[in-house]
Amino acid sequence: MRPQPAFVLIRPQMGENIGAAARAMANFGLERMRLVAPRDGWPNPAAVAMASGAGRLLDAAQVFDDTAGSIADCEYVYATTARPRELTKPVLSPQAAMQDAARRIAQGQRVAVLFGPERAGMENDDISRANAIITVPVNPDFPSLNLAQCVLLTGYEWRLATEEVIPERTQMQGDWANQSEIEALSQHYEDRMEDAGFFFPDHKAASMKLNLRNLWSRMPLTRADVQMLHGIMRQMVRWKDRP
């Protein structure tokens, strides 16, 4: 397992939410779950049912009686909370926090992220143990993230901070057409439309040809696209010539 933060669920209530949190973690390659005093004891069949493929995280989850025990081995701890309280404490976006966590972990620190119980949220006593707070920038008029969603967004930012994500690529079937192929296509259409009397009236012909040529150049065409466009034009000519 690659070095990574532990995600600590504090006094979680519903087993389903523990299972959903495990799945959310697994989506982003996170495997170190810790539980503090789960309400319905442990193991929890409802959690296992919900976790489906992520059951391995639950098997490996460490269970603690209290928050202090769950983070005893950690050098740096973040607490996620929607409602920062009356404690002087750094407050980070999920992105800034997971970038910070990645740097700390690369330096050999052990790091944990605390998630409070459903509804009630985290108690001040738990928050006071954390070095920093993570707050997801939700719409202040409608903040309704549940436990698994908060785990999901934090895990997502962990992955962005630690895996190279290619922001933009083009999925290809075959190859892009090269300039000589685009040129031949352009000429083919221009010649046939010339034959068809499309460039009318005369004084507009030059600008019509320019615009048609520009259209082909602007389009991201593959070789197969170019062949299909040639075929369409040939077929139209054949159709016209049909007796």
Query: Can you tell me the distance from the alpha carbon of 65 to that of 116, in angstroms, rounded to the nearest whole number?
Result: 15
| Cα separation, 1 vs 134, whole angstroms | 25
List the one residue out of 216, 228, 215, 208 whose CA is nearest residue 178. 216
| Angle at CA of residue 112, ends 95 and 126, nearest 5° | 105
From 123, 74, 137, 135, select the one nearest 101 (Cα to Cα).
74
Contact between 153 and its own copies per CB under 8 A: yes
Compute how many residues bind its own copies; rule: CB under 8 A: 49
Classify 8 as helix, strand or coil. Answer: strand
- Stretch in the footprint of its own copies (CB under 8 A) among 27-35, 39-47, 208-216, 230-238: 27-35
Q: Residue 59 or 191: which CB sits closer to its own copies?
A: 59
Q: How far is the CB of 88 from its own copies (least distance, A)?
A: 5
Binding mask 76-115 for its own copies (x = CB under 8 A): --------x-xxxxxxxx-xx-------------------
Q: Give the nearest distance from C-beta 192 to its own copies in angstroms.
A: 25
Q: Is 149 in the site for its own copies (CB under 8 A)?
A: yes
Instruction: Considering only the stretches 11-19, 34-42, 52-60, 181-189, report the one whose residues sit in contact with its own copies under the rule CB under 8 A.
Output: 52-60
- Part in contact with its own copies (CB under 8 A); list of ranges 132-140, 178-186, 193-201, 227-235: 132-140
Which residue lies nearer to its own copies by CB, 54 or 102? 54
Secondary structure element (H or E) that encloses residue 10, with its range: strand 6-10
In three-state secondary structure terms, 211 is helix
Task: Please enumerate in sequence order all residues whose Cβ is within 8 A of that of 136, keeping only pairs 6 or more positions apart, or say none.
Answer: 80, 82, 93, 94, 145, 150, 153
Cβ distance to its own copies smaller for residue 6 or 26: 26
**Which is closer to its own copies, CB of 192 or CB of 223?**
223
- Taking alpha carbons only, the member of 8, 53, 14 closest to residue 35 is 8
C-beta separation of 57 from 6 below 8 A: no
Give the residue with the Cβ less far from its own copies, 159 or 192: 159
* Residue of 45, 49, 52, 200 that binds its own copies (CB under 8 A): 52
Q: Report in angstroms the alpha-carbon separations of 91 from 74, 81, 88, 166, 204.
A: 19, 10, 9, 28, 63
> In terms of CB distance, is 13 or 193 closer to its own copies?
13
Q: Which residues are near its own copies by CB under 8 A?
A: 23-24, 26-29, 52-54, 84, 86-93, 95-96, 133, 136-139, 142-145, 149, 152-153, 156, 159-160, 163, 165-174, 220, 222, 225
